[in-house]
Structure 1
Amino acid sequence: MEGGGGSWRAHLPWGSRQRVVRRIFEVLKRSFPADLTEGLIDLQRVAERLEWRIYSVARDQNEYLQRISLRVLYFSSESPLLLEPRPTQMALPSNELSHRREVDHSDTEEDLLDRDRPRSHKKLCEDDRLSDLPDSMLHHIMSFLSAKEAARTCVLSQRWRLLWTSAPCLDISIDQFGNDRVRFSKFVEHLLQSRAPASLDTFCLHTCALDRACNWIDHAIKHNVRVLEFTEDARWEPLYLDPQCLAFSSEFLTCLKVTNVALDGSVFDPLSRTCPSLETLQLIGSFFEVSEISSNSLKRLDIIGCFFSKDLMIRTPNLISLCLESPQCKCAWFNDPSKTTAAITL
């Protein structure tokens, strides 16, 4: 470490950091194709944020430059992991392509559904028994679909047109958008804005390098979600859960699972005090600047592959199950061992 504390930062020219940001931005443009101006502005922010995180955690200039080089090399690889092949349309005869164009522009949804349909099939559609089921059962069926698939059910019939807007379970993943972060963000924003003012039961969110994820998590919490699962793509840096954008404060939250996030005490401490119903807490591959996990309601605690900047103290008198697999975590556990099943790997 050079000179103690942050002295090396004082000697690092601002222009050097700007060149690093530009280099990261150019590499990201190849890893995250973004043709729209909005997408390019978003990638610029990602590059700035990534540089700032590395700048903040590096112990000296050598480590700063090494981390930057590794990230640039990672994104510059010939087969970037962040690039997922998009399905290509199979070659079709010219007459069939022409027919499809005519269908796309002239036929209504009803025409398309009715085209070349046998009479027996039409009769079955008239007897739509599925749509006669109560909302609760249809919502249960939707719970097995992704949010994108659930939204598409609006074209099935008039009965289904708005049903998806009150679905109590949302499973939203950027994987379903080919890592198109702009299109994914617009979908999530529209999805949440279109929802009826109903409570959420389950909210599962998988993103990649999107700060807006904090706002989406906060939206779920404010709508009384019971089960909250968030995953930041493992191929990216841990997402900082900004306390200015979200607050873990809910009497309804019973299960919280987070993967690849960064949490400090300003977010994590209220979790222990203001979530009286929380029974399951799962922390995977994340970074924490907290010294204590304290909860009277917690029954299951999993800490797997996490890094804690401070020694950790666990105070959970009603804990039944503890799984601790974090080699860099020094932990003090204040519990009655006769009441808890523990699997600890240090």
Structure 2
Amino acid sequence: MEKLLEEFPIDFPGRMKMIQDNATNEEDKTYMVATSKADYVLRIALQMVNSKSKRNSNPLLPQDSSTPVNLQRQHRVAGHNNGLVIMQPHHKQASDGMVMTKDGHMLDQGSSINTRNGSIDRISNLPNELLYAIMSTLPALELVYTGMLSTRWRHLWTSSAYLNIDVNQFGRHRGQKFCNFVNRMLRQRGSSLLDALRLHSADTRDAGSWITYAIKRSSKVVEFSEDIDCEPFKLDYGVVDFTSICLKFLVLNNVCIDANVFYPINSSCPALENLELRDCSLEVPEISSGSLLHLDIDNCCLFEDLLISSSSLMSLCIKNPQHRAPMIMTLPCLEVAIVILDEFFHSTDDLADMDEGEEQDGEEINHGIVSGLTKARSIELIAPLREDKFEMEIWTSPMFDNLISLTLGEWCMSNEFSPLLHFLWYSPLLEDLTLKLNMEVCEYCLQEPPTAPPLVKEFTADYLKKITIYFWLGDERGAKNYKVMKRMEH
């Protein structure tokens, strides 16, 4: 371990004193109080679970003890993210565990301690399973530092099933020293299995091999992001291999990926359920994984036609695709679909100018979003008024028999609200309708006169319960939408 950390020299007593100080600060924030060793172990476990439940608005860790106790007599528990040190009551001799002195040195059981500010390491008495759970919350550098706590901890970190490697944690050592550190760390781990790898790098040539390292060690979660200030990281065929029977959750951020590298994601990841692609450059013809349940494509450049045909998909989110939109086959299991096009999306006409003559079987290259969403229960389609992508497709779409919740952008007001009315005519079970008018209206939209309310064709909306319109006060388009909605009531 000394060789692993030799490029990152530290003052060990100072480091331990810092951990102790941070532990006390954490205690002050959470009011975590333990009245016995069993209570301490329980609260450490709850704090660990709470740290993994960020989406839960109600903390799992209780803020106060359930029974009144004398604060002068009880044990005070402190933590460094995971409750590393337990503080003893004043004037009480420690009876077990490792002892940390005031200056940060570790002493064996039975060694004398400073009774004015004594502290004892109880965490080393916890079972390995709980220690590994605690380690799973630590960044890689701090994970390795735990090997300096005691003899028992020296190699414990090498069996941690979670790795969180972030180049930003290394400050000015972001270059070769960071690369050397990660390579040495992975070598010391050897063949130990992984559950999750979260890797954030910045122009690091070995990042691809680190991804493959995690895949080969049966990682269920792989999250890789290249720093946004860097060029997209090229995932090289022959270096990165996503073939895995264990991989369930894959996130790629700011990478360039081609068909050869992507192929195993479709064909050789039978457990894959979640795929997120963000700020990526894609040269991928199809996403067809038969196990995929959730797909997010956010702000990605599509350099060739992309067909989404994963029949198992339950949720689909496509935000701000660049150059072209993907094509979507009918997805029979789809529950939720979100497609957002921004002002910079290139329409079909734009692409015709960019790639003159690029067609497939006589069809335009940019088609087939709305028709693939007809089985969804919730649909959100957002685009500016001048973008006609959705409008061109909607007329060939069949009934939306399952649709309950619909959210549309201002594109639905074109041609006297005909896109909006089409959805209303062909969505017999619709209950919730939301219209979102762009809060930052483009100059083109401001120059256009407000669309006149149309004569509404008779139809029934027996299930429609709620209509919501978002617009700026004073925006006449909102008033026109309101008039259309009022006419539907009669």
* Alignment of 1:118 onto 2:114: yes
Q: Which residue of 2 aligns with 1:276?
A: 270
CA distance in 2, matches of 1:233, 1:117: 46
Percent identity reads: 39
With normalisation by structure 2, the TM-score equals 0.46
CA distance in 2, matches of 1:114, 1:216: 34
Q: Which residue of 2 aligns with 1:206?
A: 200
* Alignment of 1:169 onto 2:165: no
* Alignment of 1:301 onto 2:295: yes
Q: Which residue of 1 aligns with 2:146?
A: 153
Tell me: CA distance 1:281–1:114, structure 2 relative to 1, closer, same or farther (3 Å): closer
| Contact 1:166–1:196, Cα closer than 8 Å, also in 2 | no
Q: Which residue of 2 aligns with 1:342?
A: 337
Q: Which residue of 2 aligns with 1:316?
A: 310
CA distance in 1, matches of 2:191, 2:334: 41
- What aligned pairs does 1:1-346 form with structure 2 within 5 A after superposition? 113=105, 117-119=113-115, 125=120, 128-179=121-172, 180-328=174-322, 329-336=324-331, 339-346=334-341
Question: Which protein, 1 or 2, shows the higher relative CO under an 8 Å CA cutoff with sep ≥ 6?
Answer: 1
Instruction: Give 2:177's aligned amino acid.
Output: R
CA distance in 1, matches of 2:218, 2:116: 45
| Rg larger in structure | 2
CA distance in 2, matches of 1:278, 1:138: 28
Give CA-to-partner distance per residue, 1:192-226, whole Å, 9 cap, x none: 01115221001011111112101111111111110
Query: Secondary structure in 2 aligned to 1:248?
Result: coil
Unaligned runs of 5+ in 1: 1-108
Query: Secondary structure in 2 aligned to 1:219?
Result: helix
Tell me: CA distance 1:196–1:119, structure 2 relative to 1, closer, same or farther (3 Å): farther
Query: Secondary structure in 1 aligned to 2:203?
Result: coil
Unaligned runs of 5+ in 2: 1-99, 342-490
Count of matched residue positions in the alignment of Structure 1 and Structure 2:
235
CA distance in 2, matches of 1:159, 1:297: 42
Query: Secondary structure in 2 aligned to 1:158?
Result: coil
Between structures 1 and 2, the one with greater helix share = 1
| Contact 2:167–2:200, Cα closer than 8 Å, also in 1 | yes
| Contact 1:281–1:301, Cα closer than 8 Å, also in 2 | yes
Instruction: Give 1:164's aligned amino acid.
Output: W
Tell me: CA distance 1:114–1:174, structure 2 relative to 1, closer, same or farther (3 Å): closer
Greater alpha carbon shift after TM alignment, 177-186 vs 165-174 = 177-186
1:155 positional shift: 1.2
Query: Secondary structure in 1 aligned to 2:183?
Result: helix
Instruction: Give 2:334's aligned amino acid.
Output: K
Q: Which residue of 2 aligns with 1:78?
A: none
Query: Secondary structure in 1 aligned to 2:266?
Result: helix
1:181 positional shift: 1.1
Instruction: Give 1:170's aligned amino acid.
Output: L
RMSD: 2.1
With normalisation by structure 1, the TM-score equals 0.64
Instruction: Give 1:189's aligned amino acid.
Output: N
